[in-house]
Amino acid sequence: MPAGRCRMASGAGRRAHLTEGAMGKRPAYREIEHTADVGFVLTAPDLPVALERAAAAMFDLVSDVERVGDSFERRVVVRGTDLENLLVRWLTELLFIAESERVLLSRFTVRRLEGFELEADVAGEPLDRAKHEVRVEIKAATYHDIMIEETRSGWAVRVVFDT
């Protein structure tokens, strides 16, 4: 895709936030390209959903999250020093789990968010290259051009990743 172009990752009318607060499947986000890196911009009605959607968007950049099951489950606890740090630590922890356990994650449910501490349940399935097309390998979430802020209509998030 040429620089400066973007594609919408969800169809018209698709809801990104699923039942009972569980974040699963593909959220609405706009992919952004940054030199050799990749990232996204998204919005959410509240902070927990913003964190869930950020995780889902990151894994959707890697592979189609709608093709990833949920046979693997894990509870995740992450602490940050501020919102940007919490967001980067959250995404970094998920990348670590995916790499060390050889899984793709597809469902994210924030159970508790107090100050800059997050507790969430995540789910996915073992990476199967016959089933899962890996579109990009993300090395790390970065602080470059990062944004997580409250807006009049909810929350806005922008993250750029090293690939």
Domain ranges of the chain: 19-162
Q: What is the pLDDT of residues 60-100, one digit of tens each?
A: 999 999 999 999 999 999 999 999 999 999 999 999 999 99
For residue 95, which of 115, 78, 117, 116 has the smallest C-alpha distance? 78
Using CA atoms, how far apart are residues 29 and 27, in angstroms rounded to an integer? 6
The yes or no reply on domain 19-162 and CATH 1.10.630.10 is no
Does pTM top 0.85 for this prediction? no
Q: What is the pLDDT of residues 8-61, one digit of tens each?
A: 333 333 223 232 344 556 778 877 765 668 999 999 999 999 999 999 999 999
Q: Please give the angle made by the CA atoms of 110, 93 and 17, to the nearest 5 degrees.
A: 30
